[in-house]
Amino acid sequence: MRTIVKTTGAALATLLVATSAVQAAEERPLWEIGAGVAALSFPAYRGSDQSNNFLMPVPHFSYHGDFLKADRQGIRGSFFDSDRLDLTVSMALSAPASSEDITARKGMSDLKGSFEIGPQVDVTLWRSENRARFVKLLLPLRTAITLEGSPKDIGWVFHPKLNMDITDLPGMPGWNLGMLAGPLFGDKRQHAYYYSVDTQYATPDRPAYEAKAGYAGMQYLVAFSKRFPKYWIGSFLRYDNMSGATFEDSPLMRKKDYVAGGIAITWILGESSTRVMVND
C-alpha cells in the first residue's frame, strides 16, 4: 500500500498530460476548478517488474493567462510564440517510492520525489486551418532535483517526440485523439539515480553497477478524451520499450518493456466569468 500511495503523483501527472487534447480556437473561462477520480496502472519505476493498480482522487485546475498557463499539458510560461514555433518553460513533479516495497531495490535508498524544470521548443510541422488537428515536434529538456531537506541534482532528461492531435474524431463528435512517440535520453546522474548499484548495496543477486549516460528507450502513447459541459473524461495507454538502453544490463532492470494505462473523470465545480480566446 505504501508504494501505491507514493507513486500516485507521477501516475496522475502522466494521465493528465497524456489525455490533453487540443481544441480548435475558442473562448474558454480564464480559470476553472474541479475534482474527480482516476484508476491507474503503473510500474514502480521504468524497468521494474512490479506494477501498482489503484484508485485515487483527481484535482482539476486550468488557467489561460497571456503568459502563465496551467492545463492538462502542465504548468508553463510562454516566452516566445509564433505561428510555427513555441518556446516555453515547463515543470513536472514525480512522486517518491519506498525501496522496502520494491523487491529489486530491497535494502537500498528510497527513490525521492523530484521536481523537473526546463525549456521546451514545440515545432508545428502541420496544422489544419481551424487548429483542430496538428502534428508537432516537441523538444523538452528538463533538469531534475530531489524533493527533500537537502535537495540533490539528479541530472537531466531529453525526450524529443512527435505529437499528433485530432479533435472531433469522424463519427465521434467531441472526442479527441492524441498520439505521442519518441526516444528518451538522460545524463549519467539521471540514470545512476535509478539504475546504479553502489558497492554497499551489492548482493549475490544484485551486483554493483554503474549506469551510463545516453539512450533510455522508446515511449509510445495513445490517449482519448472528451470535454462535456460539466465534466471531462479521458483515458490513455502508454508502451515503454527499454531494449538497447545504456542501462539495460543493470540488475535493477527487471523488465525491458511494459504497458501502463489509466482512465479519469473530473467534474467542473467552478469557473471564471471572464472569457479568453484559447488556441493550441
Residue partners of 85: CB distance under 8 A and separation at least 6: 121, 122, 123, 124
Whether residue 166 contacts residue 173, with contact meaning beta carbons closer than 8 Å, is answered with no
The per-residue pLDDT for 27 is: 76
Task: Provide mean pLDDT across the span 60-67.
Answer: 72
The per-residue pLDDT for 92 is: 75
Query: Residue 258 pLDDT more than 90?
Result: yes
Query: Residue 205 pLDDT more than 70?
Result: yes
C-alpha cell at 104: 529489486
**Buried residues in 117-131 as b, exposed as e (16+ CB within 10 A):** ebebebebeebeeeb
Please indicate whether residue 71 or residue 45 has the higher confidence score (pLDDT). 45
Report the alpha-carbon distance of residue 45 to residue 253 in Å, rounded: 10
If one counts every other C-beta atom within 10 angstroms of the C-beta of residue 217, the result is 21
Residue 90's DSSP bridge partners are 76, 118
Beta-sheet pairing, 133-146 with 161-169? antiparallel
Question: In angstroms, how far is CA 72 from the centroid of its own chain?
Answer: 10
Report the alpha-carbon distance of residue 275 to residue 41 in Å, rounded: 36
pLDDT confidence bin for 93, thresholds 50/70/90: confident
Report the alpha-carbon distance of residue 101 to residue 17 in Å, rounded: 27
In sign, the C-alpha dihedral spanning 170, 176, 177, 182 is positive
Task: Provide mean pLDDT across the span 207-221.
Answer: 97
Helices vs strands, H then E, count in the chain:
2, 15
The label of the residue with cell 485530432 reads: 166
Residue 162's DSSP bridge partners are 137, 181
Task: Provide mean pLDDT across the span 79-89.
Answer: 72
Q: With pLDDT > 70 as the criterion, what percentage of the chain qualifies? A: 82
Q: With pLDDT > 90 as the criterion, what percentage of the chain qualifies? A: 55
Amino acid at 266: T
Between the CA atoms of 118, 136, 40 and 173, what dihedral angle is there, to the nearest 10 degrees? 140
Lowest mean pLDDT among 37-46, 80-89, 112-121, 185-194: 80-89
